[in-house]
Chains A and B, each alone.
Chain A
Amino acid sequence: MTATTPAGTSSGTTTPTSTDPSGTRTGRGAPGSVGPSHTGSAATRVLGLLALAAVGLLVLYGLVISPADREMADSVRIMYVHVPSATYLYVGCFITSLASGLWLWKRTPGWDALGETGAEVALVFSFVTLLTGSLWGRPTWGTYWVWDARLTSTAVLTALLIGYLALRRLDLDPDARSTRAAVLGLLLVPNVLVVNRSVEWWRSIHQDSTLVKLDPTIEGDMLVALMVGFLALGLVFTWLMVHRFRVAWLEQQADRVDLDAALRERRAEAKGQVAPPAAPDRFDTSDPSGPDVDEKVTPA
């Protein structure tokens, strides 16, 4: 899964929840100099390898070492994927809400990118959760869909995430889109809590006794297998988050780059009749409030 390009590069690390990445830019390398042409880095390669190793361990434990369950026989093995992915689904939603809140407060584009990242990775994990949940339901209760509290709220959560990502994909102007997405993102966690609470209550009334509780009592190798499940999916989650964050970060940079060309074009349009002022080069369009970081022309 990791990018195994040979380009040896100095190790630069970006934690997925990097703060204020849009601050002042450091060195000003010549634009277009050939750097690594992908979102991989030494850190993600290490992370990727670790994730693969953990998945290998999970396969070993989940399918081989851990015993079958007394009642559910081997179908319990699905739990080792289902439960962790449900957990990381909620982690992704939490990151999105947190990032949205911080974007509304601090307006640095890094948070906006993190909000989008959290939601998309959470959506992938929600599909995994729904898939494994229904595949688990089939052998255990004979139906693909069980109106079990957790599964139902996951389905509603998936709809919320799809709505959020749909709003982000509309081509508004960047600032308006980020603001609206941030408000929606901030509401994600409260929505999830209310949905869970109401679905939990709803199902607890109709919980007929025959339903085997989803979490059978687990200990010994089965518990280890579940823990390995959490480890493996956790590493995979982090790896996906880091790469998706960088993709979002690149998308933002790409937006800005065309802008400077547009500025030069706009000036040329003036048919020379109007003297263009001293041509300031790069400027940061993303924080309209604060004074511009690259201000070359000192205000009169």
Chain B
Amino acid sequence: MWRDASLVAGRDLRVEARSRVTINQVAPFALLVLILFAFALDPDGPVLERATPGLYWITVLFSALLAIARSAAVDEADGVRDALRLSALDPAGVFVGKALAVAAELAALEALLGLGVIILYGADPAALGLLGGTCLTATVAVASTGTLYGALVSGLRVRETLLPLLLLPVLAPVLIAATRAFEAALGGVPADGWPWCGLLAAFAVLYSVAGALAYGTLLEGS
């Protein structure tokens, strides 16, 4: 299974390396959203500073939507689904591979946005352990959920609009948990943040398992 996963992850990342969509389009989009938030909320006032964790994770979620849509589109090229079904690749491996590729891209985006928030919003990172833990669990959670829901809508005419409709309510808990964890880390008592991190980890495990199990069924159902 892991061999297939690394094969698929390698392919997805190579597609990204060649097409550079995430680097050239999604990353600038993410930074742009940060800037737009600053326009919306007056930068010197307290609001922006207090809302930084929330704004950060909303930006990450929207960028994730683009990265997930891109990852799903790779498999929607003409005939790829059939070739996958004919191949000896284990569907769970394909799922894990694609999720890892999306996770890698997301991690890069989060790092970039982290810098963006520090520079643009003047946030001073504290409790790095909690920040890192939250990012890790949230990234895996979003990547696995996104890959699964990407497969759910693949091949449909209206997938661009259906994917956010299906995915965002599911990711609501991730947004809540990640934001609270960041607030705990930046604002005050990191100890409060760890339970949220735990919730994110549980979410990530739930969806990784669900994705691995369901991916084959989705690939099969034309």
Contact = CB atoms under 8 A, between A and B. Distances in A.
26 contacts: A156-B172, A159-B169, A160-B170, A166-B162, A166-B166, A167-B153, A170-B157, A170-B162, A172-B156, A175-B222, A176-B221, A176-B222, A183-B214, A183-B218, A184-B166, A187-B170, A187-B210, A191-B169, A191-B170, A194-B199, A194-B206, A195-B169, A195-B172, A197-B173, A201-B196, A202-B180
Interface residues of A, number: 29
A205 interface: yes
Interface in B144-201: 152-153, 156-158, 162, 165-166, 168-170, 172-173, 176-177, 180, 195-196, 199
Interface in A149-181: 156, 159-160, 162-163, 166-167, 170, 172-173, 175-176, 179-180
Contacts of B199: 194, 197-198, 201
A146 to B, nearest CB: 17
B206 A199 contact: no
B170 A205 contact: no
A100 to B, nearest CB: 11
A174 to B, nearest CB: 10
Contact of A170 (B158, B172, B203): B158
A173 B222 CA distance: 9
A73 B220 CA distance: 58
A68 interface: no
Nearest to A178: B221
Given A172-B156, A202-B180, A205-B180, A179 B169 contact: no
Contacts of B165: 159, 162-163, 166
A201 B195 CA distance: 10
Contact of A167 (B152, B172, B195, B203): B152
A202 B196 CA distance: 10
Interface of A: 104, 156, 159-160, 162-163, 166-167, 170, 172-173, 175-176, 179-180, 183-184, 186-187, 190-191, 194-195, 197-199, 201-202, 205
Interface string B98-139: 000000000000000000000000000000000000000000
B193 to A, nearest CB: 12
B19 interface: no
A202 B172 CA distance: 12
Closest 3 CB pairs of A and B: A179-B221, A198-B173, A159-B169
